[in-house]
């Protein structure tokens, strides 16, 4: 699901809110053989073999597709983007959505027949997908983390994000399906976030000296997309 922007935080009974993790957005593809991480532009990340190995151990060969963010965390659990960019710390994967799961189960007879061989759960409401995601992510995982949320009170979570110098929050309608072409998820940026200072200049400088231009192009575009929010 792509993100669009909202200029101000809000609260609403039909929405849930998550912290915006500062990292690389990725889809995680897991099967019995390995784990792959794919960027939002469809490119497989080649520079995280250790992360993929750790995620494979966490998932134990479970076939699933997760949406989430590759991040590096400091000792306080806060994302440090430059550590991720320059591979100065061990990355983690924060999962915030479940798209497909080979072990999908349901108490509903019709759904149970549909999920007999695992299933595509993108059409289910987000709040249901989040519940199913909890069963996929171990509480004692090595590299796989669950992105929790709160319901209704986005203004409180935004104040908390700003107080802790985090990038911001993401607002999502609780009952929406997962529609890749629909920009219904809203990012609400902390305008005072300290790690944005100098980032675009950093991307431009590193892109000029790094042969893997695609990575820096994606970083620069991501930076550019935040200017108006």
Does a structural domain hold residue 132?
yes
In this structure, is residue 173 part of a structural domain? no
DSSP labels, 80-124: -HHHHHTT-S--EEEEEEEEEETT---SSHHHHHHTBTBEE-TTS
- Helix (H) or strand (E) segment spanning residue 202: helix 199-209
Instruction: Report the number of distinct structural domains present in the chain.
Output: 1
pLDDT digits (tens, 9 = 90+) for 83-117: 999 999 999 999 999 999 998 765 555 544 444 44
Give which of 88, 94, 80 is closest to 37, Cα–Cα.
Answer: 94
Q: Which token pair is 16?
A: 């849930």
Whether 154 is covered by a domain: the verdict is no
pLDDT score of 198? 75
- The answer to the question of residue 122 being in a domain is yes
pLDDT digits (tens, 9 = 90+) for 185-225: 999 999 999 998 877 776 566 555 554 445 544 554 444 44
Q: State which residues form the domain around 127.
A: 22-146
Say if 40 falls within a structural domain: yes
- Cα(90)–Cα(218) distance, integer angstroms: 21
pLDDT digits (tens, 9 = 90+) for 25-80: 999 999 999 999 999 889 999 999 999 999 999 999 999 999 999 999 999 999 99
Beta bridge partners of 26: 68
Reported pTM: 0.84
DSSP conformational letter for 153: -
CATH number (domain holding residue 122): 3.30.470.30
């Amino acid at each position: 699901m792509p993100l669009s922007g909202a200029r101000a935080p809000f609260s609403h009974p039909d929405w849930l809110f998550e912290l915006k993790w500062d990292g690389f957005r990725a889809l995680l593809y897991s099967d019995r053989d390995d784990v792959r991480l794919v960027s939002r532009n469809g490119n497989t990340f080649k520079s995280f073999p250790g992360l993929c190995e750790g995620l494979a151990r966490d998932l134990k060969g479970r076939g699933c597709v997760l949406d989430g963010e590759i991040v590096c965390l400091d000792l306080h659990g806060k994302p440090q983007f430059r550590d991720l960019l320059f591979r100065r710390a061990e990355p983690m994967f924060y999962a915030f959505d479940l798209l497909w799961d080979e072990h999908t189960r349901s108490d509903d007879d019709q759904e149970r027949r549909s999920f007999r061989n695992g299933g595509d759960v993108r059409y289910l409401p987000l709040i249901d997908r989040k519940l199913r995601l909890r069963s996929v992510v171990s509480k004692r995982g090595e590299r796989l983390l669950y992105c929790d949320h709160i319901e209704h009170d986005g203004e409180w979570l935004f104040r908390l994000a700003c107080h802790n110098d985090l990038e911001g929050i993401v607002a999502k309608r609780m009952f929406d399906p997962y529609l890749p072409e629909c920009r219904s998820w809203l990012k609400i940026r902390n305008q005072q976030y300290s790690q944005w200072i100098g980032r675009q200049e950093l991307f431009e400088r590193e892109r000029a000296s790094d042969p893997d231009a695609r990575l820096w192009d994606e970083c620069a575009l991501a930076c550019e997309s935040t200017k108006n929010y």
